[in-house]
């Protein structure tokens, strides 16, 4: 089966790492925040508008010169980066920084790399210059162990200042006629992203803690699932691109990559408020969620209604964090994707073979995003019973239905028998303990079981058994109050 092929493949190419829990919160970015004051303001505005968020990403313009990539904060723009990191952490934020494997010819790092022999070369031994995208630049040769050691120390200094993650942009545009330290040029195109992300992921894990590594990458090869997370690259603010990033997610997941993201609103162009909302609704049901692009992608830039709906789905995502992180842990040891095409779970149902516009988020939630302006769509529910998340109506599967979807509704269904764990509202991951823990049991079966994983805290084991009109729920030790809600039926609930 497909579910057997994926772990077999990753057993050969490497098991996927599970990113740190905080990374499953919202990432807020644009191209680009460019000063310390600007970053401080967007952080304050996020909390003022009560938009839950964990990461502020600073893109190309944190250097003294935009795109320079000398891996140093520009002193005129970010005079006190360590203080900024401390201030943001106190507010519940972490910081991610952009870089690419190139450096402008005017950068002091280019001179150092040239003198040290750390750059990709031409046949005559001179550095190969990357042209055609911004200023001419030299490229790091990640096949050279000395290059890796040199650049890792540059990254260590950023982590010492409090940076949490590095965006490993580009990595796919390698010249086949380049001369590399240990690999022929024609073989380097596929291998380079693996070496590039391995190096940055490795130093991240070294500095922030074992099993806490992460990058934000757009290029990959076989084995790159060991170094998550990957995103779709630079889409355009169009409904066609919204549909495209979903198809990409499902394809990527079937390639052995459990964790994936895309830029809410598209990277370039101006989305209408309606497109921005529909993109956000889809984005909130991916493993990782980021707003990014130009012009700004903060939700208040798209009007009061868009901001309200964005907040509604962002709040829901944070309440679903016990489910999301637990499913992520499972994906780490099964190699199944967080966003999975229906065929992966329903391989014997020919109706699922060509469905590329809806998906399972984890094992229990069926998501049918709105990918056009119609506010209505056809939805296929596979065999079994499903519960409409919004109306709580129980529906029979194995058939198609038509779902109406005004702007604040994205069709969402819960598999019958699911124990859906929800935490309290939070402004950032782990802002408070899992108290209260709400367990929504949807159309209970005879028995059910759930393990809630919570990173460095003990797992919480939940099970239920049904006896007539009584439902007995067993919950292991939790940080606080437990509320049990039965959805779809009126049953007496006994919790122990």
Contact indicator for 420, 439 with CB cutoff of 8 Å: yes
Nearest C-alpha neighbor of 98 from the set 54, 150, 155: 155
Residue 169 annotated in active site: yes
Residue in this structure with the two tokens 């956000």, named with its chain if needed: 280
**What is d(CA 212, CA 484) in angstroms, rounded to the nearest whole number?**
32
Contact indicator for 413, 389 with CB cutoff of 8 Å: yes
Contact indicator for 175, 186 with CB cutoff of 8 Å: no
Residue among 40, 172, 205, 349 flagged as catalytic: 172
| Tokens encoding 162 | 């409090």
Give just the sign of the alpha carbon dihedral 25, 321, 458, 17.
negative
Contact indicator for 463, 474 with CB cutoff of 8 Å: yes
Residue among 234, 345, 431, 455 flagged as catalytic: 234
Contact indicator for 338, 258 with CB cutoff of 8 Å: yes
**What is d(CA 327, CA 18) in angstroms, rounded to the nearest whole number?**
10
Provide the β-strand partners of residue 119.
140
Q: Quick check: helix, strand or coil at residue 300?
A: helix
Q: Which phi and psi (to 5°) does residue 266 adopt?
A: 80, 150
Contact indicator for 362, 356 with CB cutoff of 8 Å: no
Report the Cα–Cα distance between both ends of the chain, in Å, rounded: 38
Contact indicator for 365, 287 with CB cutoff of 8 Å: no
Q: Quick check: helix, strand or coil at residue 367?
A: strand
Residue among 54, 169, 307, 440 flagged as catalytic: 169
What is the helix (H) or strand (E) element at residue 429, kind and residue range?
none
Strands (E) located in 277-373: 289-291, 339-340, 359-361, 365-367
Residue 435 annotated in active site: no
List the 482-487 sheet strands across, edge first.
419-422, 437-442, 482-487
Nearest C-alpha neighbor of 227 from the set 248, 253, 249, 200: 200
**What is d(CA 6, CA 16) in angstroms, rounded to the nearest whole number?**
11
Active site residues: 169, 172, 234
């Amino acid at each position: 089966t497909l579910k057997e092929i994926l772990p077999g493949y990753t057993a050969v190419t490497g098991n996927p790492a599970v990113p740190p829990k905080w990374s499953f919160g919202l990432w807020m970015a644009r191209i680009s925040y460019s000063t310390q004051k600007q970053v401080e303001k967007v952080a304050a505005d996020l909390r003022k508008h009560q938009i839950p968020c964990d990461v502020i990403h600073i893109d190309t313009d944190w250097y003294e010169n935009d795109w320079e990539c000398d891996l140093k904060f520009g002193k005129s723009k970010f005079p006190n980066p360590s203080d900024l990191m401390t201030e943001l952490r106190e507010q519940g934020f972490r910081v991610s920084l952009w870089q690419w494997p190139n450096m402008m010819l005017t950068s002091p790092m280019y001179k150092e790399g040239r003198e040290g022999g750390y750059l990709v070369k031409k046949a005559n031994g001179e550095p190969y210059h990357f042209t055609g995208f911004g200023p001419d630049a030299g490229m790091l040769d990640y096949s050279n162990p000395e290059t890796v050691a040199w650049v890792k120390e540059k990254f260590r200094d950023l982590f010492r200042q409090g940076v949490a993650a590095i965006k490993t942009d580009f990595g796919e545009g390698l010249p086949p006629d380049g001369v590399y330290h240990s690999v022929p040029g024609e073989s380097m195109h596929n291998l380079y992203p693996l070496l590039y992300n391995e190096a940055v992921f490795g130093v991240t894990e070294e500095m922030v803690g074992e099993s806490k590594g992460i990058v934000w990458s757009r290029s990959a090869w076989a084995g790159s699932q060991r170094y998550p997370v990957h995103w779709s690259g630079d889409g355009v603010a169009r409904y066609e691109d919204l549909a495209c990033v979903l198809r990409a997610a499902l394809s990527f997941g079937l390639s052995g990559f459990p964790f994936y993201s895309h830029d809410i609103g598209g990277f370039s162009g101006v989305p209408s408020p309606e497109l921005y909302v529909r993109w956000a609704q889809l984005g909130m049901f991916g493993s990782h969620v980021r707003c990014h692009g130009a012009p700004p992608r903060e939700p208040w830039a798209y009007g009061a209604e868009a901001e309200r709906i964005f907040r509604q789905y962002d709040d829901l995502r944070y309440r679903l964090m016990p489910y999301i992180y637990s499913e992520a842990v499972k994906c780490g040891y099964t190699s199944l994707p967080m966003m999975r095409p229906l065929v992966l779970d329903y391989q014997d149902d020919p109706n699922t073979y060509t469905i590329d516009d809806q998906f399972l988020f984890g094992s229990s939630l069926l998501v049918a995003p709105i990918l056009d302006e119609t506010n209505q769509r056809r939805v296929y529910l596979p065999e079994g019973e499903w519960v409409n998340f919004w109306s709580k109506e129980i529906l029979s599967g194995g058939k198609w239905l038509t779902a109406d979807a005004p702007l604040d509704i994205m069709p969402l269904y819960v598999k019958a028998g699911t124990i859906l764990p929800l935490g309290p509202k939070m402004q950032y991951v782990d802002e408070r303990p899992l108290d209260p823990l709400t367990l929504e049991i949807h159309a209970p079966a005879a028995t059910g079981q759930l393990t809630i994983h919570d990173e460095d805290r003990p797992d919480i084991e939940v099970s239920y058994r049904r006896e007539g009109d009584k439902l007995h729920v067993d919950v292991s030790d939790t940080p606080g109050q437990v509320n049990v809600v039965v959805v779809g039926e009126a049953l007496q609930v006994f919790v122990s």
